[in-house]
Amino acid sequence: MATMTCIEDLRVLAKRRVPRMFYDYADSGSWTETTYRSNQDDFQRIKLRQRVAVDVDQRSLRSRMIGQDVAMPVALAPTGLTGMQHADGEILAARAAEKCGVPFTLSTMSICSIEDVAAHTKAPFWFQLYVMRDRDFIERLIDRAKAARCSALMLTLDLQILGQRHKDLKNGLSAPPKPTLANLLNLATKPRWGLGMLGTRRHGFGNIVGHVKGVEDMGSLSAWTSQQFDPRLTWEDVAWIKKCWGGKLILKGVMDAEDAQRAADSGADALIVSNHGGRQLDGAPSSISALPAIVDAVGSRIEVWIDGGIRSGQDVLKAVALGAKGTLIGRAFLYGLGAQGQAGVEHCLNIIRNELDITMAFCGKTDIHQIDRGVLQHSPW
């Protein structure tokens, strides 16, 4: 596949190069995967309005997300185990985002640590936080994000209980991964990936191992994480985290207008309409179908972004047309990372940028801030 023209091409190459258990971890949803599929399929139900004889010679995609200048209204979403798609994956993805002028978000469950990413990049990045029962660890994690000059904290609200992902169970994905015969045979077919992993020391969860009492290796990590995600998380905890952090706060995982009102009341700077990529509540609506009602409810009070199902610049334009002030991509950039490392993430972002730019021109617009429902021929919502 010498010529890759779309995100799907990157996905196909990533599937060839990344071990099955880690590819499936990224490219799967919970239970029947209905919501996972709807996230992408529902974008195709939205039709664009083509315009002609409009001067579109000079165009701009530049925007701002929580006051930060961005080359286009796109950010890299937090994704766990990114460093298992490609050696040093979080560092490479952050560098690609920096080069392309968009924000990068580091997951709590990353392979490369906060300090590692900060040491290998120049632009400030965002840090995503899961709330654990160990509140002392959370406070120290927030302090580490501050020390690393992270410019925003993204608090994920929808993963206090894990949705069941059948592929992970069948593949034996755990910490550490189970060395089954099937897994070992599959690893033997991925020499490029294996050589990359041999060349790095980053194989564990860098934000956790060595930073929690009693968690010094991957084996002890598994027992700790299985007990730590805190199902008692409430809006009072959001207020506590906001106070501890003291900076820009983004709330991820909002799918209901009532919850969106609570998010706006919390004083957060942005909320993300997200169903966790269809990896949690199967049977929930797609992110794009939930977006308009949430924009109508709180769009004048808080920045509303969207995450889930975006695979093209056209998807970005459709989300902006329905009121999103920003979009996040997760699987799309992971495909690029798994396929080609940093160059693949840059390729992913350039594909999305070019598609967004050209589509905007076909719709008769020259500035991303001109995009509204007027560019849509049809939307079911």
C-alpha distances in Å from residue 196, one per residue of 170, 191, 272: 25, 9, 34
Those residues with Cβ within 8 angstroms of residue 149's Cβ, 6 or more apart along the chain or in another chain: 118, 124
- Catalytic residue, chosen from 276, 347, 369, 378, is 276
Identity of residue 322: L
Helix (H), strand (E) at residue 70: strand 68-70
Q: Strand pairing partners for 306?
A: 273, 327
Q: Tell me if 287 sits within 8 A of 307, measured CB to CB.
A: yes
Q: Residue 255's closest CA among 233, 236, 235, 277?
A: 277
Strands 105-106 and 68-70: unpaired
Q: Give the containing element (helix H, strand E) for 218.
A: helix 218-228
Residue 70: how many CA atoms within 13 Å on its side-chain side? 24
Helix axes 89-100 and 331-340, enclosed angle (nearest 10): 110
Structure tokens at 12: 């196909």
- Residue 112 tokens read as 């490369």
CA distance 190 to 14: 11
Q: State the DSSP string of 266-334.
A: TT-SEEEE--GGGTSSTTPPPHHHHHHHHHHHHTTTSEEEEESS--SHHHHHHHHHTT-SEEEESHHHH
Q: Is 276 a catalytic residue?
A: yes
Check residue 163 and report its DSSP letter: P
Q: Which residues are catalytic?
A: 276
